[in-house]
Chain A
Amino acid sequence: MGLALALERQGIPTVPVSTHVFARLAKATALAEGMPTARNVFVPQPVVGRSPAELRTYIEGIDPISKRPFMQGVIEGLTRPLGAEDFKDASFERNIPRLLEPEREDNLQELFIRNSWTDFLPIILPTEERVERMLKGTKHARDKIVGRLQPTAYRESWEFDVEKVAVNAVMAGARPEYLPVILAMAASGISARSSSTNSFATISLVNGPIRNEIGMNSGIGALGPYNHANATLGRAYGLLSQNLQGGSVPGDTYLGTFGNFLNYSACFPEAEERSPWSPFHVDEGYRANESTVSIFFGGWYTQSGYGPRETWKEKFIRCLTADHFSPPLIVMDPLVARGFVDLGFTKRSLIEWCAENAKLSARDYWDDQWVGTLLRPLAVAGIEPYASRLKAAPDQLVNLFTPDDIKIVVTGGETQAAFKMFAGRLQKPAPGNFLGGTAINIIDEWR
């Protein structure tokens, strides 16, 4: 859609074709781009998996949105002269008030739900007094611009300041001392409410002294609803993402076919004191006495196991090859990490083993829809490691990930020698990363 509008600005009449489930999104995108009369046409969903003959029936059939012949819409879209509607000034401004009109509490709760400003769990209403109290959690001015967020790459991005982040932190039930973490999450530029059809989620990892300062839980139940800070930090990140980016409303600003349980809250600290290895943020180049929040993007799958047991290699390979596209964030109980130490592994050597052994046949690898969509063009352009994977014979095994893709974090209560692998990509500037943002964010800058 963005490309179509860019061509229009270059003087090339362009017709964007989408499937009908994206009609509202196409309209909203055109409106936000200042071209509300863009001449979209639609075919039925899905296009994926349809044979050439079936695609031809789409082309020769009816546009499910306009209810007219599809090709009539295409030809008219390119040839019908611009009319009065096209010449209307499509400029507009949207002024968001700082405060809402005074209202009874129950009516405000209903208003927040009606406007899709919540995650449909009860919220704390952001009164002036509560927001003032929250703002005491940072030395930064309330009107300091923190950053921008957008539901996905081609959507408009909205800006926000410290106060707006504090408002959402209040709604999530967070305490003022958590605010620097929440500001760092917001400043990442990575939305916890991606609009992708893939139903992505983010998983946030906190490292450094702030974990203990604010009482986060890296012990029993670290990944679950058993700690105020863990729970409300993850929730605050979700709420601020949806409200500060301009919404996360199904059909408009959210298209995930399933949604994702991890969207409610997914934030935990590393058990640095009980890990046999250096903390995650230190491995990534930060000082041990710095506090960071690292954002992993994915949340498609969760694999679980025990170990390291006699057949751990087979188990790991099954888990590592669970998905073609999303590299794993491997979360280990300290018992598991120590077990790998006993087997002679460092964290790095275990990551290298995982990268070396996570393989699929080239046929299987390239048959994945998302690999084909995002990575095949990079392979065709000669960008490694994708180009080599594309050159492989269909039955040849190709590596799914590089060592830098795979991350290991230690947390948990040592009640079970268990590990989990989550789909979790640490976003970095690289070909194929269309989302942008900063994956590892220093919390101390927001104290």
Chain B
Amino acid sequence: MGDKITVHDPRGFPPKVTGKRLANRLERLDGKVVYLIDCLFENSDNFMVQLGQWFAEHLPSVSTRIIKPRECWIDDPDMRATIAAQGNAAIIGVGL
């Protein structure tokens, strides 16, 4: 037990992480279109409805639209294109 030995590191090779910048933020939300993305986890649809109602009651100048990806956990470029073309910001949930 006293002698030192050399062993292999059992871990794989992680990818290089390339830093990316966040999008510029909006100066204000007034008059903007915010997409509420229901990520399809159970009850996320109801959460987004409630979130939309909160905006309607507290920030009525903000227009909210609920949108869903085609599948859970799978990127939906068409949906992203819609948001990019017609929206100013997005809130996605509830999940990862």
Mark A residues whose CB is within 8 Å of B. Answer: 1-19, 22, 25-26, 29, 31-35, 37-39, 43, 47-50, 52, 55-56, 58-60, 71, 74-75, 78-82, 86-94, 96-100, 102-106, 108, 112, 117, 125-128, 131, 149, 153-154, 156-161, 163-164, 167-168, 171, 239, 243-246, 369, 372-374, 376-378, 381, 431-432, 434
Contact = CB atoms under 8 A, between A and B. Distances in A.
B47 A55 contact: yes
Interface in B8-67: 8-29, 34, 37, 39-44, 46-47, 49-51, 53-54, 58
Contacts of B19: 34-35, 88-92
B15 A164 contact: no
A69 to B, nearest CB: 12
Contacts of B47: 17, 43, 47, 55, 58-59
B42 A431 contact: no
Interface of B: 1-29, 34, 37, 39-44, 46-47, 49-51, 53-54, 58, 68-76, 80, 83-84, 87-96
Contacts of A43: 47, 93-94
A379 B76 CA distance: 16
A18 B96 contact: yes
A126 to B, nearest CB: 4
A6 B22 CA distance: 10
Contacts of B16: 91-93
A80 B25 contact: yes
Given A11-B23, A17-B94, A106-B1, A96 B76 contact: no
Contact of A82 (B22, B84, B96): B22
Contacts of A1: 96
Given A48-B42, A243-B12, 16 more contacts: A8-B23, A12-B84, A12-B89, A18-B93, A19-B94, A34-B19, A39-B22, A47-B42, A81-B24, A96-B12, A96-B14, A103-B5, A108-B5, A108-B7, A167-B9, A376-B40
Contact of A128 (B8, B14, B51): B8
A327 to B, nearest CB: 19
A138 B39 CA distance: 44
Nearest to B19: A90
Given A18-B96, A153-B74, A55 B50 contact: yes
Contact of A55 (B1, B41, B46, B96): B46
Contacts of A245: 12
Contacts of B11: 96, 117, 158, 164, 243-244, 246
A93 B17 CA distance: 6
B7 A127 contact: yes
B85 to A, nearest CB: 10
Contacts of B80: 3, 6-7, 10, 12
A381 to B, nearest CB: 6
A82 B41 contact: no
Nearest to B10: A243
A159 B51 contact: no
24 contacts: A3-B37, A6-B75, A15-B92, A17-B93, A33-B20, A78-B25, A79-B28, A82-B21, A90-B20, A104-B2, A104-B5, A125-B7, A126-B8, A149-B12, A153-B74, A156-B14, A158-B12, A164-B10, A243-B12, A244-B12, A246-B14, A373-B40, A373-B42, A378-B71
A377 to B, nearest CB: 5
Given A14-B91, A56-B54, A164-B12, A47 B44 contact: yes
For the complex of A and B, list the 4 residue pairs with the smallest distance between their C-beta atoms, beginning with the closest.
A17-B93, A90-B19, A244-B12, A158-B12
